Amino acid sequence: MSDFFKKYMSDIYNISSNIDHAKLLRCSQMVSNTNEAGGQVLIFGNGGSAAMASHISVDLVKAARVRASNFNEADLITCFSNDFGYENWVKKSIEFYSQPNDLVLLISSSGSSANILNGALMARKLKLPVITLSGFDESNPLKAMGDVNLYAASSSYNYVEMAHHIWLLAIVDHIINEKAK
């Protein structure tokens, strides 16, 4: 393996393993509690984080038997962006689609995407529990907006996204494991 790949894999390992496991457990419990209460997990992200939201929602539904939705339909995003502004499409999606027992999961590598931050504010207004995933600046605004905040200590998009993906898949696998007991 070249030195680049060896360092790359080591960096991903170090960033993703530098997480408080109690936070991952709390996220798993929040998702399970939402499911038991008849709610669903509403998952949002931009770009690579949107792709991750799609992957995680499918795994939650299919493998963990937890109701989950992501909001990556071009018609919804462009309609809400056109009518309310791009910075408000997540907020409006939460306002229009959420139910009282739902959980909102927000993913932003930078932790400063206006649409994701406004979504967090709407979830708070509706008194919905919130899980956030962010990276880059440790004092990013999203990191302070959730009931549980998972932070990847890196300024590289790919490193942050890989850590987020590993953590989210670990949460899904934990739920599956708990249901099998």
- CATH of residue 104's domain is 3.40.50.10490
Residue 146 contacts by C-beta under 8 Å, 6 or more apart in sequence?
Answer: 106, 120, 130, 131, 132
Residue 4 falls inside a structural domain: no
In a domain, 16, yes or no: no
61-89 pLDDT per residue, tens? 999 999 999 999 999 999 999 999 999 99
Q: What is the pLDDT of residue 1?
A: 57
Considering only CA atoms, which of 145, 122, 121 is closest in space to residue 133? Answer: 145
Digit-coded pLDDT (tens) for 148-169: 999 999 999 999 999 999 999 9
Whole-angstrom Cα distance, residue 83 to residue 77? 10
What is the total count of domains within the chain? 1
Q: What is the pLDDT of residue 137?
A: 97
Domain that holds residue 132: 22-180
Predicted TM-score (pTM) above 0.85: yes
Regions of the chain short of the pLDDT cut 50: none
